[in-house]
Structure 1
């Protein structure tokens, strides 16, 4: 709580801020079966992880995004926010683990919204958390910061207690704005954009 309050105070000192739960980690992508946007080597890693960690289930990988079952990519998040008229001065706190695909996926988002932070960048002392507890404490800090943010946006609300609990917790407070993108509805737009059909999408 003390660390969370320190981070929130530092963010608040520079004005309003938005928080985003960017669920683009290997475990969630493997669970969801969202492989089609990755290169062959990355697909191999995801399929191996899925086989080793989840019950066998027949999935048609190239249809998963079309039916709204995939977490939004960082670039898709950026495009949604731009379409909602948020500009590059928007301050964003990212609650995220290690993103699968790394900088290749983050670069387009960072280009659109350069004012990105996480608990480590706002308060470097959070890096001193012991390795054995950093995952749990880091998640707890992220939760509290997201709870108190002016706007919260989950990029995937599947089997994730983090996002679902926050949606309910913020609703309980009654005054906290939440953006919940329609992944299924937006999928055709993003797929068409990837194929070069950008008319009316920018």
Structure 2
């Protein structure tokens, strides 16, 4: 999703910047105040680095098995896989020939199937696929669904929070969302909470 958004991302490798620019084509990223406003509204997908940071702040164990339901051109993936080492993708599950011959819609269907049948689902964006997965998981009674709070992440980082202070703020924001019933959350992540 990062490559197809018009969001501005700092600190990416040159290879990632080139891949993002190629995927965007004629669409140029927002800059200046527009970029800041869009990001602070939580409209920008999270990068793998940002996702790993938030998962750590929520005390998601580093040995958790993660199926990454994403497009083929995942950039900066090592920001996630260097911390969460049990990450698998479509291309690692299928033989090279099977993966190569699989159509884009079939790949999306595989992501959807795995996502609705997983023990838990974590969304780094709230696009159409995420909405369909969340709805089907709720229908099936699979309530361990978490939407990472992109707005709070952007707000806290724009305030200059980082490190442990940022992690504590993110954990509190996600816990507050869970307690207040805003969105869905993984109750196991908030085991310290009591009514």
The TM-score normalised by the length of structure 2 is 0.69
Please say if residues 90 and 99 of structure 2, whose CA atoms lie closer than 8 Å, have aligned partners that are also in contact.
Answer: no
RMSD: 2.9
> 1:167 aligns to what SS in structure 2?
helix
Evaluate the alpha carbon distance shift between residue 45 and residue 116 of structure 1 in structure 2; reply closer, same or farther with a 3 A threshold: closer
Kindly indicate whether the alpha-carbon contact (under 8 Å) linking 1:36 and 1:62 is maintained by their aligned counterparts in 2: no
Aligned counterparts, 1:171-182, within 5 A: 171-182=138-149
CA distance in 2: counterparts of 1:143 and 1:82, whole angstroms: 25
Q: What is the CA–CA distance in structure 2 between the aligned matches of 1:187 and 1:143, rounded to whole Å? A: 28
State the partner residue of 1:119: 90
Unaligned 5+ residue runs, structure 1?
1-22
| Residue 56 of structure 2 corresponds to residue 82 of structure 1 | yes
Residue aligning to 2:6: 33
Aligned to 2:188: none
The runs of 5 or more residues in structure 2 that have no matched partner are: 168-195
Partner of 1:186: 153
Where in structure 1 do 4 or more consecutive aligned residues deviate above 3 Å? Answer: 38-52, 56-59, 129-133
Quote the offset at 1:86 in angstroms.
1.4
Aligned residue pairs total 163
Q: TM-score, normalised by structure 1?
A: 0.67
Kindly provide the CA deviation profile for residues 183-202 of structure 1, in whole angstroms up to 9, marking residues without a partner as x.
11221233425xxx435235
- Which digits, 9 at most, give the CA deviation of each residue in 1:141-160, with x for residues without a partner? 11101110011011111xx3
1:131 to 1:165, Cα distance in 2 relative to 1, 3 A? same
User: Shift in Å at residue 181 of structure 1?
Assistant: 1.6
What's the offset of the Cα at 1:180?
A: 0.9
Which structure has more relative contact order (CA 8 Å, sep 6+)? It is 1
